[in-house]
Amino acid sequence: MSKTKIYEVPGLVVAWWDEDLQALSIKWFTEYVEGTEVIDAVQFAIDYVNENKIKNWFCDLSESKQALKPEDQLWVETEFKKAIAKSTLEKVVLMPPLPSTGQNIDWLDDWEANTKIEYKGQIDARLLSDEKAISSFFGK
Look up the CATH number of the domain holding residue 31. 3.30.750
User: How many structural domains comprise the chain?
Assistant: 1
Which residues form the domain of 123?
3-137
pLDDT digits (tens, 9 = 90+) for 62-110: 999 999 999 999 999 999 999 999 999 999 999 999 989 989 888 888 8
The pLDDT confidence band at residue 1, using thresholds 50, 70 and 90, is: low
**pLDDT for residue 79:** 94
Buried b / exposed e along 28-37 (16+ C-beta atoms within 10 A): bbbbebeeee
**pLDDT for residue 116:** 82
